Amino acid sequence: MTVAGTGTIPVMRPWLGAEEAEAAAAAVASGWVAQGPRVAELERAVSTAVGAAEGVAVSSCTTGLHLALVVLGVGPGDEVVVPSLSFIATANVVRYVGATPVFADVDRASGNLTPGTVEAVITPLTRAVVVVHQGGVPADVDAIRGVCASRGVEIVEDAACAIGAELHGRPIGAHSDLVVFSFHPRKVITTGEGGMVMTRRPDHAARLRRLREHGMSISAAERHSSARVVLEEYLEVGFNYRMTDIQAAVGLVQLRRLVDIVARRRSLAARYRERLDDRTGLVLVDDPPFGRANFQSFWALLPDAFPLTRDGLLQHLLDRGISARRGIMASHLEPAYAGEPHVPLPATERITACSVILPLFHEMTGEEQDRVVAALHEAAGIRES
């Protein structure tokens, strides 16, 4: 249903079809459009897909991460370790609860936190670490837990990009007490906006359900379906972070596509790796030894000797109808975090300054991918043979 071929190759395009449109229309026709039965169904379906005990749907990964920190009781005076190399929401949620984000550096190959970079910034004030699976490349959460558990430091996984990725042979989603997915269109599957907090702790799940719905003692959906009059109470100051049933209807269809989407992304990533000449010197994102990426973002690090600057390369690609993006941002370099003290972050600064995200989407054709490869070879001064 989408047009490929000529014209600009986008960096990402969600794979949406007639089934999603029909599912959304059915939700509208049902008369129940806010959080209701379809949200509950999506929560069960995602939990089953990733092997988590429970899922709590929310309006975005950002709001889910916020609630995760509230549930852990993180607040003013606490420090939370985050990678600077991440979408800025990872750091912002720490500020939402009044705590201090402490930036840690990342592994140069994966762009992820490591036990070493986390340990380097843990202090007696550290309450939690937000471990990001950057671009859908799994971080070794289990190893990071090794430096956290003995110090009573909690782990929250920012798995915004990582549904369908695997760590130590198991899907991301069940390795920690709190794992948060995003269903933004830039991610692997989408509900327009949306997210879900996966948890294996019933107490966390109950609190998350209450917090996302104004702190209500009983959900609106339960109240409506009860045969008896039920008066709700507001047990604490909560939020309105709910997903709608229209979004969940779309999500249920998208979830059925997840296995295909991940397989396609992995095969396109492998094809980039095969076709890009080693002489470009580009360092391409790859699976870590302990897991399987979903390649939500396919990034390439430019070698020092590359003939073009990073921005020069982005322009070179755009001039050829190819929309690429700068690499993953670094929060500590943004005005919002100017003046925030931090340890040296050399790997973060190198990756953010010298990498590009290449087009990769489900319906990308081999021809489109070959156009990207040819443009990169041209930029690197390599003649096609």
Ligand X SMILES: *Cc1c(COP(=O)(O)O)cnc(C)c1O
Residue 193 CB, shortest distance to ligand X, in Å, is: 6
Does residue 60 belong to the site contacting ligand X (CB under 6 A)? yes
DSSP letter for 112, please: S
Residue 382 phi/psi, 5° resolution?
-105, 130
The residues in 11-40 that bind ligand X, with binding defined as CB under 6 A, are none
The residues in 114-133 that bind ligand X, with binding defined as CB under 6 A, are 132
Residue 14 CB, shortest distance to ligand X, in Å, is: 13
**Cβ-based nearer residue to ligand X, 276 or 359:** 359
- Using CA atoms, how far apart are residues 240 and 37, in angstroms rounded to an integer? 18
Q: Which stretch binds ligand X (CB under 6 A): 13-21, 114-122, 154-162, 267-275?
A: 154-162
Q: Compute how many other C-beta atoms are within 10 angstroms of the C-beta atom of residue 29.
A: 9
Nearest alpha-carbon partner for 194 in 222, 160, 158, 165 = 160
Q: Which stretch binds ligand X (CB under 6 A): 29-37, 40-48, 56-64, 252-260?
A: 56-64
**Cβ-based nearer residue to ligand X, 27 or 93:** 93
Size of the site for ligand X (CB under 6 A): 14
Put the strands of the sheet holding 79-83 in their side by side order.
54-58, 195-199, 178-182, 154-159, 126-132, 79-83, 100-104
Q: Which stretch binds ligand X (CB under 6 A): 107-115, 156-164, 196-204, 249-257?
A: 156-164
Enzyme catalytic residues = 187
Quick check: 198 and 141 in contact, CB under 8 A? no
Q: Which stretch binds ligand X (CB under 6 A): 19-27, 84-92, 276-284, 346-354?
A: 84-92
Does residue 161 belong to the site contacting ligand X (CB under 6 A)? yes
The residues in 300-329 that bind ligand X, with binding defined as CB under 6 A, are none
- Using CA atoms, how far apart are residues 71 and 179, in angstroms rounded to an integer? 13
Q: Compute how many other C-beta atoms are within 10 angstroms of the C-beta atom of residue 318.
A: 13
Tokens for 298, please give them.
């396919």
**Cβ-based nearer residue to ligand X, 130 or 252:** 130
Nearest alpha-carbon partner for 128 in 112, 111, 148 = 148
Distances (CA, A) of 160 to 123, 132, 192, 334: 27, 8, 14, 21
The residues in 175-194 that bind ligand X, with binding defined as CB under 6 A, are 182, 184
Does residue 87 belong to the site contacting ligand X (CB under 6 A)? yes
Does residue 160 belong to the site contacting ligand X (CB under 6 A)? yes
Does residue 158 belong to the site contacting ligand X (CB under 6 A)? yes
Does residue 86 belong to the site contacting ligand X (CB under 6 A)? yes
Q: Are strands 126-132 and 154-159 parallel, antiparallel or unpaired?
A: parallel
**Cβ-based nearer residue to ligand X, 157 or 368:** 157
* Strand, helix or coil for residue 298: strand
Binding site for ligand X (CB under 6 A): 60-62, 86-87, 89-90, 132, 158, 160-161, 182, 184, 195
